[in-house]
């Protein structure tokens, strides 16, 4: 037994009551996000938990924040060490933990409300060595293509064969026994999950999948990966990405060559080849095809020539893509030449014409489909006038830095028109406008913060309007709170989801009332929280992070309630509520995509205040 393992055993014997889970958080200069991370963990409904904080040589206020929380919460343990990188920081956390299960977080992560309670409820009826849940991360929804309980060996074989499985440690709870020996690479600061995850799968028997998003990962500007990607296409980027190659001998030494030869021989050869291809097809200026082959040979100390390496890759490449098939049939060099030709063509004007032709072709296919199978085209968008089979999913869960996931995860996100991107509130407004087209054509219209899909409706129906915005391109650059326009100058004013963004919405309403003609109409909508009676507004909420937490979006300055029409009436308007449920299901006038999107429009007619 090594000294490190003896230390772990000693700590286990010393602990009289082992916590159920140890949350290991290795932090380097994370003062900007650490509080939110810790608050999300400490708010979990779980009685048996410890938090192991590893200060990995931070030079900012990270240590002070850690000790501040430790003074308030005895379940927090702090370990200080010199900067050794994230992988060794996590291993330090594991060695100093005592929980039956071990999980990890980064300082810029946070847990959703009730996350650990959901895991505990799942564990009651499902025994496994690893429990995996879903995460929301910037750019995509990260989850494995499995459900229920799987054999870990099968998942490992699928991973080697190229099945897209997220490798991140913070997606999972691991049984403590899986860390009997370290799986973390020494001296490696990037891609440490790629090194360790296959080794943990090999030690496990089963892995259980919880089909719910419980975790949010934020990609911060100063994160290791983001800093690296800023240098993409440079030689420095290439040199750091070569670290991926070293995962191959690391996995072999941990799993064992005999186990790989007997259980994963073919699939592991696909993994090796896929790793080689990542290096060969890396788009880096100034590094030739032969230099990339030499880099693979030198990094791994391979005793083969370039030609032998090309032959190995061509023989063992999987055939999951067209490019892989070309490499398998024609060889690596020919595949690379075709890839390079396609890349150069993509920058030519002809490539832009090709993309426009494809978009036009897709639109024509939809129209043919609409004529050929009218019974299947049950959806309609009044903004663009297109019929189609189904609405598409929105991007809101993929932007936790802008939209609060708690507001979205329990609502169907398939609410966007696949052609113009309209949401329910746009389609309800367009449907209302359809009923009053002649009125709109004969009115002078001022449209604040015009949405592209509604401008498409205006263009299709030959309705003229003057657009106004303070930040985006528009006919007039105006602040809705102080326009400087003449009194009683417009018949109709539209402000769709504008009032929640301005500093003083009452001032904006007063200004709209001033420039609206007698009996003129003001059409508006705004986020409405069903838990709020009239208004949720706090002048102390000033940062993007505070607004995101309180109002659900980082640029919202308030949330309106179910009786918000009273606020409009107080501003001098006679208010009629336009409800989504009064419109046909084909335009999908539902609540969403967030829980505060009640999708009610307010038709406000001006009357004079004596």
**Domain at 405-606, CATH homologous superfamily:** Vaccinia Virus protein VP39 (3.40.50.150)
Distance CA 326, CA 303 (A): 26
119 token code pair:
């895991």
Helix (H) or strand (E) holding 564: none
Task: Please list the residues that pair with 426 across neighbouring strands.
Answer: none
281 token code pair:
């097809």
459 token code pair:
């263009």
Q: What is the CB-side half-sphere exposure of residue 180 using CA atoms within 13 A?
A: 7
The domain limits of the chain are 21-221, 227-318, 405-606
Per-residue pLDDT reduced to its tens digit, 334-358: 888 888 887 777 667 766 676 777 7
pLDDT at 139: 44
* Among the listed residues 500, 550, 565, the one whose alpha carbon sits nearest the alpha carbon of residue 526: 500
pLDDT at 90: 94
Distance CA 555, CA 255 (A): 49
Q: Where are the beta strands (DSSP E) in 144-299?
A: 148-151, 172-175, 206-217
Q: Which residues of 448-467 are buried (b: 16+ CB within 10 A; e: fewer)?
A: bbbbebbbbbbeeeebebbb
Is 21-221 a domain of CATH 2.40.37.10?
A: no
Helix (H) or strand (E) holding 533: none
Residue 441 Cα distances to 438, 459, 466, 565, angstroms: 5, 11, 13, 27
Distance CA 11, CA 23 (A): 16
Q: What is the CB-side half-sphere exposure of residue 309 using CA atoms within 13 A?
A: 25
Distance CA 274, CA 297 (A): 15
Distance CA 234, CA 72 (A): 46
* Among the listed residues 450, 395, 386, the one whose alpha carbon sits nearest the alpha carbon of residue 418: 386
pLDDT at 9: 44
CB 61 within 8 A of CB 31: yes
Distance CA 159, CA 138 (A): 23
Distance CA 158, CA 160 (A): 5
Q: How far apart are the first and last CA of the chain?
A: 89
Distance CA 455, CA 174 (A): 52
- Which residues of the chain register pLDDT less than 50? 1-15, 139, 228-229, 610
pLDDT at 4: 47
The helices-and-strands tally (H runs, E runs) of the chain is 23, 22
pLDDT at 522: 96
Residue 405's SS3 state is helix
């Amino acid at each position: 037994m090594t000294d490190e393992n003896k230390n772990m055993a000693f700590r286990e014997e010393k602990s009289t009551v082992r916590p159920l889970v140890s949350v290991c958080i290795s932090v380097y200069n994370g003062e900007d996000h650490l509080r939110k991370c810790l608050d999300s963990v400490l708010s979990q409904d779980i009685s048996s938990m410890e938090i192991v904080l590893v200060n990995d040589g931070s030079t900012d206020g990270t240590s002070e924040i850690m000790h501040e929380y430790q003074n308030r919460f005895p379940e927090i343990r702090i370990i200080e060490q010199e900067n050794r990188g994230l992988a060794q920081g996590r291993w330090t956390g594991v060695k100093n933990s005592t929980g039956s299960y071990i999980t990890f977080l980064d300082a810029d992560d946070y847990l959703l409300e009730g996350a650990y309670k959901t895991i505990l409820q799942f564990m009651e009826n499902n025994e496994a060595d690893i429990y995996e849940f879903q995460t929301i991360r910037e750019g995509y929804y990260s989850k494995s293509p499995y459900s229920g309980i799987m054999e870990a060996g099968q998942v490992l074989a699928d991973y080697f064969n190229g099945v897209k499985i997220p490798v991140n440690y913070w997606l999972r709870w691991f049984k403590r026994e899986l860390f009997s020996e370290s799986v973390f690479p020494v001296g490696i600061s990037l891609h440490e999950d790629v090194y360790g995850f296959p080794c943990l799968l090999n030690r496990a028997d089963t892995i259980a999948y919880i089909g719910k998003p419980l975790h949010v990962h934020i990609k911060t500007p100063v994160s290791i990966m983001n800093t690296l990607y800023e240098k993409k296409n440079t030689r420095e980027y290439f040199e750091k990405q070569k670290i991926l190659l070293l995962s191959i001998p690391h996995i072999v030494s941990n799993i064992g060559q005999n186990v790989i030869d007997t259980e994963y021989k073919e699939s592991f050869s696909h993994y090796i080849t896929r790793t080689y291809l990542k290096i060969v097809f890396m788009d880096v200026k100034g590094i030739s095809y032969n230099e990339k082959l030499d880099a693979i040979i030198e990094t791994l100390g391979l005793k083969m020539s370039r030609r032998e390496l090309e032959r190995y890759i061509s023989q063992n490449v999987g055939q999951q893509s067209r490019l892989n098939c070309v490499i398998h049939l024609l060889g690596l060099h020919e595949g690379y030449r075709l890839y390079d030709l396609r890349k150069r063509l993509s920058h030519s004007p002809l490539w832009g014409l090709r993309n426009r032709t494809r978009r036009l072709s897709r639109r024509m296919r939809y129209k043919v489909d609409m004529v050929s199978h009218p019974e299947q085209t049950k959806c309609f968008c009044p903004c663009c006038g297109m019929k189609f089979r189904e609405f598409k999913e929105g991007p809101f869960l993929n932007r936790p830095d802008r939209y609060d996931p708690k507001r979205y995860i329990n609502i169907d996100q398939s609410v966007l028109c696949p052609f113009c991107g309209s949401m329910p509130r746009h389609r309800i407004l367009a449907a209302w406008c359809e009923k009053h087209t002649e009125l709109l054509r004969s009115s002078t219209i001022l449209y604040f913060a015009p949405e592209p899909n509604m401008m498409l409706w205006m263009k299709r129906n030959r309705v003229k309007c003057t657009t106004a915005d303070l930040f985006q391109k528009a006919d007039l650059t105006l602040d809705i709170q102080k326009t400087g326009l003449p009194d009683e100058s417009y018949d109709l004013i539209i402000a769709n989801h504008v009032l929640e963004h301005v500093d003083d919405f009452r001032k904006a309403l007063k200004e709209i009332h001033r420039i609206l003609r007698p009996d003129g109409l003001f059409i508006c909508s705004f986020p409405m929280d069903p838990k709020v009676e009239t208004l949720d507004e706090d002048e102390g909420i000033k940062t993007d992070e505070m607004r995101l937490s309180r109002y659900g979006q980082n640029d919202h300055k308030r949330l309106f309630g179910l009786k918000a029409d009273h606020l409009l009436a107080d501003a001098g308007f006679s208010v009629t509520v336009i409800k989504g449920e009064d419109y046909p299901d084909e335009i999908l006038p539902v609540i969403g995509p967030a829980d505060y999107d009640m999708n009610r429009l307010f038709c406000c007619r001006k009357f004079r205040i004596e």
